Structure 1
Amino acid sequence: MSSVPSRRTKKRNAFGATSPPFIDYLKDILRRYPDGGQILKELIQNADDAGASEVVFIHDERTYKKDSLLSEDLGQYQGPALYAYNNAVFTEEDWLGIQATGRSIKRNDPHRVGRFGIGFNSVYHITDVPCIFSSKYIGLLDPQEKIFGDGEGGFRWSLDNDEDRNLLITLRDQFQPLRDIVKQVSDKYMGENHRRGSVFQRDSFSVSFAL
């Protein structure tokens, strides 16, 4: 007689640690990373780890149109916003790290003091949907998965992809805030290359789920 446990027995006897729901984990991160000036410090630290030599924070008090948006629910984010610009460009590793909540890509690098996958999430104290524009990519994060539905936690578009580029042009109101802020800082900080550097956008009037 075989002593190998059956699949049913294995399932009945299954025992092991489980990961918490993502939102619960994010709430715990926010408790460990307080709001206020600490948020700006985290972004400065991330910029320093990326090799940036300049960091600029901008509060845009303008309100933008809501006619052409990815989702009607994004209309609430067309109001005043806080932007953080630095003159370093995201690497593919950085894009992966910003999605890896609680799993920092910096943990094995003694020369990088920050925790990109963790510290960045302090921005959820002041926004539910942060937006990132760096090099050829624009990324929008929705960890609560309320904006796009179907379990989508956000999207990233490439300016080098024809389909993505046409979408960005069609949804003009959605991305007009980024166009305006890039134009504002380009002459002084970006020079002729408007795709150099990284811009983070955070709506300053949203209510974070974790609060």
Structure 2
Amino acid sequence: MAEILNDSRNGQLHEVRVNIRKMIDKILTQYSSDFVVCRELIQNADDSHATSFHLQIKCNAPSSSLSKETDFHAQTITELRMINNGKIFSETDWQRVATIAEGNTDPQSVGQFGVGFFSVFAYTNEPMIKSGKEYMKFVWKGDQLLYRHDKLSIQEKINETSIILKMRDKPTLCIE
């Protein structure tokens, strides 16, 4: 057996392929509670030493037709934004969020296991992160997950971190 593994004449080496979409779906089964995305992003904000966390819910209702908060009842949710004032992403943070299961060896920091952020794919196909002067947007091309990491325009620069989830399934807001 050892000769086969060490003998380069017995065929080519081939890269193992990974269906990223199916792998993320399998990760999501481990994060199956209703509010896991919010829990994960609140935990990330806490890990980054945030002192505030805001959840913004955008609906499809025209703002001119809304006179009070209860007018949002039964409106379609189009976007969630989770905004915190914690530490702005470093280059290492950007690299880690673009790598599944890399994790962070510092137990006092964000992303200890490297999979929690990917729970956002339960809600969206194209999550975006804005932090400081930069952004990262994820997009699917077939079963391949790609991302764009670039600088924000001068007008878009922020002193916080914002996770933007354009909703895939368009749930309805229920105000009780």
How many positions carry a matched residue from both structures? 151
Unaligned runs of 5+ in 1: 65-78, 160-164, 170-178, 180-193
Instruction: Report the AA paired with residue 138 of structure 2.
Output: L
Partner Cα distance (1:25, 1:152) in 2: 11
**Structure 1 50/201 Cα, relative in aligned 2: closer, same or farther at 3 Å?**
same
**Structure 1 23/113 Cα, relative in aligned 2: closer, same or farther at 3 Å?**
same
Identical positions, percent: 24
Tell me how far 1:34 sits from its aligned partner: 1.4
Say if 2:128 is the partner of 1:145.
Answer: no
**Structure number having the greater helix percentage:** 1
What does residue 47 of structure 1 align with? 45
What does 1:115-194 align with in structure 2 at a 5 Å threshold?
A: 115=112, 117-142=114-139, 144-146=140-142, 153-159=146-152, 165=153
**Structure 1 6/63 Cα, relative in aligned 2: closer, same or farther at 3 Å?**
farther
Tell me how far 1:111 sits from its aligned partner: 2.0
Instruction: Report the AA paired with residue 44 of structure 1.
Output: I
**Structure number having the greater strand percentage:** 2
Could you tell me whether the CA contact under 8 Å between 1:136 and 1:158 is conserved in 2? yes
SS in 1 for 2:114: helix
Tell me how far 1:8 sits from its aligned partner: 2.7
Q: Deviations over 1:70-93 (max 9, x none)?
A: xxxxxxxxx820000000211111
Instruction: Report the AA paired with residue 121 of structure 1.
Output: F
Tell me how far 1:6 sits from its aligned partner: 5.5
RMSD: 3.3
Residue of structure 2 aligned with 1:199, choices 139, 142, 162 = 162
What does 1:3-152 align with in structure 2 at a 5 Å threshold?
A: 7-9=8-10, 11=11, 18=16, 20-62=18-60, 80-88=78-86, 89-104=88-103, 106=104, 108-112=105-109, 114-115=111-112, 117-142=114-139, 144-146=140-142
State the TM-score, normalized to the length of structure 2. Answer: 0.71
Could you tell me whether the CA contact under 8 Å between 1:101 and 1:118 is conserved in 2? yes
Tell me how far 1:19 sits from its aligned partner: 6.2
Unaligned runs of 5+ in 2: 63-76, 171-176
**Structure 1 34/115 Cα, relative in aligned 2: closer, same or farther at 3 Å?**
farther
SS in 2 for 1:124: helix
Instruction: Report the AA paired with residue 132 of structure 1.
Output: I
